[in-house]
Amino acid sequence: MRLLRWYPKAWRNRYGEEFAEFLIADIEERPQSAERTLDVARAGLLARLAVAGLAEPHVAWQPDPGRRVQVSLGMLCGALTACLALAAAMWSQLAIAREWTLPAPATPPTTRAMLVMSAAVLAFLVLIVLAVAPVGYAIARNRNIRLLGPLLVLAAAVSLLAFGGHHFLYQWPGSGGHGEDGTLFPVVPAGIQAFAWSLTYWFSVHWFWLSAGLGGWEVAWITASPLALAAAAAAAATLVRRADLSPRLLAYETRLGAAACAVMGVFLGGCGYWVYVGRPPGLAHAGQIDIAAAILLALALAAAYQAQRTALRGLHLVRG
């Protein structure tokens, strides 16, 4: 029965047979019903969101509440990683563009936006450290064989990103480092700008790739780095889902998740100011790709916020 395919497997395992019987009886009575199809599709998609940790932590067909919170936190981890990748791409572009335009006449909107975005990225990195440390400790204590696979994937992806990011640090036209002679005035050290940019070439130099052509290693890096980033995010989310984490730690991580969403909201505000209000001429001008990135960032942030809220509601269930 095709209508059942709207629902995830966990739901079908619990309700599949009786729901099929229900539908057979309903279809006999009303052979054609667009309302029924739409209602089943809506409910099925909502059930899939629940499986992904984005909705409904309190339904009977899902496993225990603690695991549901971890599923939501895993989704939160993945969504925030996407936010960070997009934020790093936009931030590093603006930082380097701004540096290249200095000491030209000041562009206050760009500087203000840059300061807000830089503060938000810094705060976000602090939150990452605060979030990762206790989870890493818990995982080390777990000694669970099911964690080995995602741990290896995470280590490989992070190593690739670190190695590649460092390798391409100053090997790109326009990348950071030119401020090291002291003639320019970077908001943050040029090496950090360059590293963030080299990690996000896949996003920021698409136009260069298309118009000028790149060497084999550059193309390989542009192809591999987003895949490595996605693999790292997926592995981290899997670790969060599978590890045995105490209710207290889950509550702590959920609170940090709320703070991370707020910080990323501040970043988005600074970014919006840059894109829609500042509109500075020259290198720091926000283009269509930046607008697209801001929209994607807003969507990822919305998913992160929804996952955080779902985790919070799940926590209330865990605490009874």
Partner 1 sequence: MPKRDGARPGADAGLAGFGRYAGPATLILSSLADGPKHGYALTKDVEEFAGVRLAPGTLYEALARLESQGMIEALEAEDRRRPYRLTAAGATALQAHLDAQRRVTETGLRRLKANWGTV
| Interacting residues toward partner 1 by CB under 8 A | 15, 17-23, 25-26, 35-36, 39-44, 46, 58-61, 320
Whichever of 43 and 158 has its CB closer to partner 1, that residue is: 43
- Among the residues of the chain, which ranges form H helices? 9-29, 34-51, 65-101, 108-142, 148-167, 190-199, 201-204, 206-212, 216-242, 247-272, 288-319
Is 116 within 8 Å of 100 (Cβ atoms)? Answer: no
Whichever of 59 and 296 has its CB closer to partner 1, that residue is: 59
Whichever of 56 and 218 has its CB closer to partner 1, that residue is: 56
Q: Minimum Å distance from CB 10 to partner 1? A: 11
Whichever of 19 and 202 has its CB closer to partner 1, that residue is: 19
Q: Is 108 exposed, middle or buried (0-12, 13-18, 19+ CB in 10 A)?
A: exposed
Which residues are within 8 A (CB) of 247 and not within 5 positions of it... i.e. 6 or more apart?
A: 66, 315, 318, 319
Q: Minimum Å distance from CB 12 to partner 1? A: 11
Is 318 within 8 Å of 65 (Cβ atoms)? Answer: yes
Name the residue among 8, 12, 17, 82 with its Cα closest to residue 237: 82
d(CA 305, CA 213): 39
Q: Minimum Å distance from CB 151 to partner 1? A: 33
> Which 8-state DSSP code applies to residue 53?
T
What end-to-end distance do the CA atoms of the chain give, in Å? 38
Whichever of 98 and 313 has its CB closer to partner 1, that residue is: 313
Q: Minimum Å distance from CB 72 to partner 1? A: 16
Whichever of 26 and 180 has its CB closer to partner 1, that residue is: 26
Q: Minimum Å distance from CB 15 to partner 1? A: 6
Q: Minimum Å distance from CB 318 to partner 1? A: 12
**Residue 79: strand, helix, or coil:** helix
Q: Minimum Å distance from CB 8 to partner 1? A: 13
Whichever of 25 and 145 has its CB closer to partner 1, that residue is: 25
**Residue 8: strand, helix, or coil:** coil
